[in-house]
Amino acid sequence: MTTDIARILESKRAHRNALAARPIAEKLRLLDALRERELLIRRASLRGAQTIHEVHEDAASYVDKPA
């Protein structure tokens, strides 16, 4: 454990690089796990959704637009 922010950021970067370097099949299994976790969270928060607005994301527009 450290409170040195530079070391923390470097450690995070190293962890991300290590994840990125894993075999693709393993990374896709991690995607499956992330999705399952997200569904669990969503189900658990269904009751709260009546009073708290759910996070909404606009769909991507893939149409060319001026730079």
State the residues that interact with other proteins by CB under 8 A: 13, 16-17, 19-20, 23-25, 27-28, 30-32, 34-36, 38, 57-58, 60-67
Give Cβ neighbours of residue 19 (< 8 Å, ≥ 6 apart): 27, 30
Report in angstroms how near the CB of residue 62 gets to other proteins at its nearest: 5
Measured distance CA(8)–CA(20) in Å, rounded:
18
Report in angstroms how near the CB of residue 42 gets to other proteins at its nearest: 10
- Pick between residue 21 and residue 52 the one whose CB is nearest to other proteins: 21
Give Cβ neighbours of residue 27 (< 8 Å, ≥ 6 apart): 19, 20
